[in-house]
Structure 1
Amino acid sequence: MKGLEDEQTRKLIQQMGGLLRKIRSEQKLSLEELAEKTGVSKLTLGKIERGETNPTLGVVWKITEGLSIPLTRILVMDDHVDLSRCGEGFMIYGPDQTWRVETVFRNTDGPTMEIYRAFLEPQAMYSPEPHHKGAMEFVTVMRGNISFKVEERVYQLKQFDSIKFEAASKHLYKNIGEEEAVLHVVVRYPS
């Protein structure tokens, strides 16, 4: 199974690079201009476009924010039917590896919605980069207990509790339990 996962990851990284190059070209941006818009170095952008590196979630957020596109626009596999099994999707890790998101469904037609499974280690925290302006985020706790901070307000969520908020708001996830928390995350972009 590990070989299949490695092959799928390699294929997705190459497709992501090709899509990034295509989108950058459509927007008539040089690598230098994209680096300026995103805060991601020209060298890193070039490696991503050539499929030579698997970027972190923070880097991908910066790129999609700079291009004004949903994250899943560059996380696409060329399949006609998309079946998502937990643990088999494309995984992106936070900086300290205690937070990870797995894409559930991806679409190349400029989707207005993204769906993820997110996992947060016990007692760990994750504060994501600000998301696209006007986007809404919907989070449901599937397993565990989460302390969720949006701007200055803190909410306690337990299994099957949900929260909705503007995704560009500063927010922080904290697993206050002793087991890995599992979340279902939907991001809806403005049309």
Structure 2
Amino acid sequence: MEIDDPKQVVLQVGSVLKKLRKDKGLSLEELAQVTGVSKLTLGNIERGDTNPTIGMLWKISNSLSVPLMALFSDSSDVQVSRAGEGLRIAGDDDAWVIEPIFQQSRLNIEMCRAYLQPNSTYYPEKHHPHSTEVATVMTGQVEIRVNDESYRLSAFDSISFRADDTHSYTNLSDELAVLHIILRYN
């Protein structure tokens, strides 16, 4: 699916969220309680009136026990993802931006392209229990910290770790770092 209109994606996320919430028998108030996201914000997301941050989407997907990319459902068998086109989701400070690439619900796998601004650090929200994260640095040099260990990766280096462990990404250079990230939900 090529996404020409990001507003359509925001509307789609809202529609999918509303369906998931109703399928689980939750009111907006109940979802707000379990996610820590206000009822007003959740309502705005469901109506497509706001573009949620990646932190909000993580909280919502974790609380609903669904992969993050399940909020961006697409039913096509063939998908093309072009860098810089389509949905871009920013972290709270815009240092970290992701572009969802693919989501394979039957395999519990999703893939995204991530951009980390120069000399900045991103601390993700806690991921689903027992999930696995695989990150490959495409450009730049990135330090990935998992629990208390640091790993320095250069272009085309990869790392795999439990995504529910505390982790962070730090761009050590003066240039934008690009990563490909695969999440597998167990």
Report deviation, 1:110. 5.6
Q: What 5-or-longer segments of structure 1 have no aligned partner?
A: none
Report deviation, 1:96. 1.1
Residue 152 (structure 1) aligns with: 148
Cα deviation digits, residues 149-172 of structure 1 (max 9, x gap) = 011111111111111011011111
User: Superposed, which structure 2 residues align to 1:33-44 within 5 Å?
Assistant: 33-44=30-41
- Secondary structure in 1 aligned to 2:5? helix
Alpha carbons of structure 1 residues 65 and 135: separation in structure 2 relative to 1, 3 Å: same
Cα deviation digits, residues 48-84 of structure 1 (max 9, x gap) = 1111110000000000000000011111345453111
Q: What 5-or-longer segments of structure 2 have no aligned partner?
A: none
Q: How many residues align?
A: 185
Equivalent residue for 1:68, pick from 65, 68, 88 = 65
Report deviation, 1:122. 1.0
Q: Distance in 1 between matches of 2:35 and 2:52?
A: 14
Alpha carbons of structure 1 residues 135 and 72: separation in structure 2 relative to 1, 3 Å: same
**Mapped contact 1:70–1:110 kept (Cα < 8 A):** no
Q: Distance in 2 between matches of 1:96 and 1:41?
A: 19
Matching of residue 46 in structure 1 with residue 53 in structure 2:
no
Residue 165 (structure 1) aligns with: 161
Amino acid corresponding to residue 180 of structure 1 in structure 2:
L
Residue 121 (structure 1) aligns with: 117
Residue 23 (structure 1) aligns with: 20
Q: Distance in 1 between matches of 2:22 and 2:40?
A: 17
Q: Distance in 2 between matches of 1:165 and 1:89?
A: 28
Report deviation, 1:106. 3.5
Report deviation, 1:111. 5.3
